[in-house]
Amino acid sequence: MSSVVTSQVAGAVGVIPRLRRLGAYRELTWMLTWRDIRVRYKHSMLGAAWAVIPPVMMMGIFTFVFGTVSQLNPQTLTGHASLPYSLFALSGLVPWTFFANSLQAATISLVSNRQLITKIYFPREVFPVAAVGSAFIDFAISTVVLIVFALVVHFGGGAWRFEIGWPMLALPVVIVVQLALTVGIGLLLSMANLFYRDVGFLFRSFIQLWMFVTCVVYQLEPTAAWKRAVIQLNPMTPIIRAYRDCLLMNRNPFDWSFVQASLFSFAVLALGWLWFSRREFDFAERA
């Protein structure tokens, strides 16, 4: 069986053949995506509401800590004169939760499906891609709630106003860039965790630290040039900012930092896919 799998993989390592193979198994990808969603909410009273509850709860916690306990100036946290901090925090937590949940699910996707890996041949990319896809459904639900919350704030009598402009049309581009980064990292992590189980444990700790060096719950605008350069090396920082530019700020999200993050994201996707395809023949032996 392993020799058959190896020969099949070796025969389709090119980009075009792999794209065609993955497209041929799109129904399997959808099946795995919906399976993950059903398992996640099975026997749950609130069901899909759990897609929204975690970011909303974290928004409440950070609003309480920064607004009540520390009593920081909201403009210092948001970088905007009238934007409420709660809306600022939720607009960062929604895409970040999608990013973190996708990678956590993708990391264990190969290990969780090792019985299928060792018995049946099909493109192994379907597992991390399906993990990202199931998290994307939650992200879509949370984004709708975010927009509704923005409308509530708009009509709530405050100074901030929800404006509809052309930057909202750029939102799909921002989502595609984040998907490229997420799938690329997910492919690398799923493969690494299959070979070394420590990767999953390390990642769960690292993702928490990563959030606090990203502009998720506060604006990162360091004065020193070297600090700004270090922060901009984090691709999620311009991606999160781009979400806010599209949805809340009504301004052009395509600055130079976002272009750099886009190039980096697609480079990670290409690297992850290439490395994944080259090591795929080892999966059955390591699973």
Residue 14 confidence (pLDDT): 55
CB atoms within 10 A of CB 3: 8
Residue 28 confidence (pLDDT): 82
> CA nearest 8: which of 281, 279, 283?
281
Distance CA 181, CA 214 (A): 15
Residue 225 confidence (pLDDT): 64
Contact in structure between 111 and 14 (CB atoms under 8 Å): no
Residue 285 confidence (pLDDT): 64
Distance CA 104, CA 111 (A): 12
- Which domain, by its residues, includes 231? 2-286
Residue 12 confidence (pLDDT): 42
CA separation, residue 136 to residues 19, 72, 114 (Å): 21, 33, 23
Residue 189 confidence (pLDDT): 95
Sole residue written with tokens 């090591």: 279
Residue 10 confidence (pLDDT): 41
Is the pTM for the entire model greater than 0.75? Answer: yes
How many distinct structural domains can be found in the chain? 1
Q: What does each of the 287 residues of the chain score in pLDDT, given as a tens digit?
A: 444 444 444 444 455 666 677 777 778 888 888 888 888 887 777 777 888 999 999 999 998 888 777 777 777 788 888 899 999 999 999 999 999 999 999 999 988 887 777 777 778 889 999 999 999 999 999 999 999 999 999 998 888 988 889 999 999 999 999 999 999 999 999 999 988 888 988 998 899 889 988 889 988 765 556 666 667 789 999 999 999 999 999 999 999 989 999 999 999 999 998 888 888 777 766 65
Distance CA 97, CA 278 (A): 30
